[in-house]
Chains A and B, each alone.
Chain A
Amino acid sequence: MAPVYKVSYVVAGEEHPGAILNADQPPRVGDQVRLGSREFVVLEVVDLLPARGDFRFLHATLRPISKA
């Protein structure tokens, strides 16, 4: 099975609860991601935990680029 990327997203610079999501592709710096109704740009991606089985565990920091 292709890897599953379990990502912890945190939004910098505002009161946002962040999000956890399984993705088919890892986020990369500069990517735009949509969480709910809002869009963000990825500022940083780091490994949060060692991989286990088919799962990769990442942490990404985001910056908002639009408001709902």
Chain B
Amino acid sequence: MDLLPLLQKVELFDGLSPDELQAVADLCSEQILHAGDTVTRQGEAGNEMYVICEGWVEVIPNPPPGGAGPRAVVNLGRGQLIGEMTLVDYGPRSASVRAISEPTVLQAIDRDRFTELCEHDFRLGYLVMRNMAADLSFKLRHRNLTGR
């Protein structure tokens, strides 16, 4: 499967050359999920981030103690990232993520191998980190607009 057309349309990889995109594609492994399957569980260690190629997931953080039951804070579709925070902070998963469409197709990227690529190619590393900051900013703006 030629991943380059797909990766070109992911903001995280905006500005990368075809060779750089191919280097990223070489790190990808496809995962096909069914509705209800879990992608990440809040609190667990995470060694991968994911790009959504097809379908939808919902992001569900644990509710605060004494709060209402868990509820989704956003649904993410094609071209969006899951688990990218672990790439920059090495922390545990900040929320649980579950597939809600049939099928949901992801590309998984190993954090350590991707970090190695960023450190080996400074231009690629700079662009990816800039784009990741922009993606996190977009998610914050979306969250603010939902009024939650």
Inter-chain contacts of B101 with A (CB < 8 A)? 36-37
What interface size band does chain A fall in? 20 to 34
Task: Type the 1/0 row for A14-51, where 1 means its CB is closer than 8 Å to any CB of B.
Answer: 01011111110000000000011100000000001100
CA distance A18 to B100 in the complex (A): 14
> Could you say which of A8, A15, A22 contacts B142, with CB atoms under 8 Å apart?
A8
* B88 at the binding interface (Cβ < 8 Å): no
B140 smallest CB distance to A (angstroms): 11
Assess whether A52 is in contact with B134, with CB atoms less than 8 Å apart. yes
B132 vs chain A, min Cβ distance (A): 13
Query: Shortest distance in angstroms between B11's beta carbon and chain A's nearest beta carbon?
Result: 6
Say whether B9 contacts A19, CB under 8 Å. Answer: no
Tell whether A17 pairs with B146 under 8 Å between CB atoms, given A8-B138, A22-B10, A36-B101.
yes
Q: Which residues of B contact A53 (CB under 8 A)?
A: 14-15
User: In the complex, are the beta carbons of A21 and B79 less than 8 A apart?
Assistant: yes
* Closest chain A residue, CB of each to CB of B59: A17
- Residues on B lying within 8 angstroms of A by beta carbon are 8-11, 14-15, 56, 58-59, 71-80, 100-101, 134, 138-139, 141-142, 145-146, 148
- Measuring CB to CB, which residues of chain A are less than 8 angstroms from any residue of chain B? 1, 4, 6, 8, 10, 15, 17-23, 35-37, 48-49, 52-55, 57, 59
